[in-house]
Each structure stands twice: as structure tokens, then as C-alpha cells.
Copies of this chain bind each other. A is one copy, B any other.
Amino acid sequence: MAPSIDPEAHPLEVPPAAVTIPALSFIIECEKLKAVERRSRPIGMPRRENSAEHSWTLALMAMTLGPEINPAMDMLRVIKMLLLHDIVEIDAGDTFCYADQSGKAEREQAAADRIFGLLPAERAAEFMELWHEFEEAATPEAKFANALDRVMPLIQNHANGGGTWSEHGITTEQVLGRAGVIEGVSAELWQHVKSLVAAAQLAGWLKS
């Protein structure tokens, strides 16, 4: 039987353990990413995906596809960026990529300040820099990481028979507009995206 657990509501029920490693308070805070729901669904599952398991998939994609796509990339940097890239959603929430993005940058910076601020200074600075690198999408590593973040929902929507495309009446133009970053990263990935979009159009899952 699943107990209804809310440690903030019952702080005294958890006896304190001596915290010998300050960075663990960051790890405990990051558990909350498992409760942040995205619009997309894992392939074959009726429930929505959370941002923690989504981040796992992207890191796994990076180590799987990265060596073929660009072996010169710093793969550790790519993977760190992907593991961190959505943590700000703990405070700022997931913003649907086809929704109004106003205020998003400010909300997310405040979230990064608070959450990375739980870490010792050196680690906080490293993680903040990695998160900014991902957001700016200027380095080869950040472009690749961003491309994976765009590709995976397309793969999920295609495999799920339309997914969030059909649910929200998304157009081919909207999808290809957001997917443009992929073209510069990998001709193969871009080819795959065009193939997914063509199949989705034929099936009537994307409005033209």
C-alpha cells in the first residue's frame, strides 16, 4: 500500500541525520524533478513523462549517438548539460514548447540561483555555467544537447500515434520551425526528423 508521504507537512516525523555532505541537500531537492510533468508520454505508456526520466533518456541518447555524429565533442560536458538542463523546472515548471514563452527566462534564472545555490560554491558555479551553456546553444556540445532535446519528443509522438501533436493541433510548420537546430548538428538526425514528420503528415497527425 502506498502511504501518502509529504515530508514538508510532517517535518518532525523524520529524525535528523547528521548531514556530513552539504551537496546532498541539492540531490534531495532534485527529487522534485520526478514530479514535474511534461506534455509528452513515454512510448507506449498512457501516463505523462516526468522531466527526470526525460533527462535520463537524453543523456543516454548522447552517449549512444554522439560518437558517430561528432567524436570531437566533449561528451562528459554534453551529458552533464543534459542531466542538469531541466532542473530549473522544479520552481519554474515545464513550459510547453508551443506555448507563450514570456517570463520564462527570468523564472528559470531565479530557479537556477536558488537550486544550484544549495551546492558548495565550486560545484554551484560549474553547474550554473553548464546550464547557461545549454540555454545559449552556441558551443558544439550545447547545440548537440539541444538537438537531442528537440528530437526525442518527435520520436515519442510518432511512435505514440500522434501524441501531443494531435492533442494540441500542432502544425508541420511549428514542428519544423522548432526542429531547425537539428539540421546544423547532424544531416542524419535531420533526415530522420523529416521522415518522422512526413509519416505524421500522411497519418493526419500534423495539421498542414
Contacts and interface: CB of A to CB of B under 8 A. Distances in A.
Interface string A1-38: 01111111010011111111101101110111011000
A55 B60 CA distance: 10
A57 interface: yes
Interface residues of A, number: 78
A194 to B, nearest CB: 9
Interface in A60-98: 60-61, 63-65, 67-68, 75-76, 79-80, 83-84
A47 B159 CA distance: 26
Given A83-B60, A158-B17, A34 B23 contact: no
Main secondary structure of the interface of A (DSSP, over half): helix
A41 to B, nearest CB: 7
Nearest to A27: B61
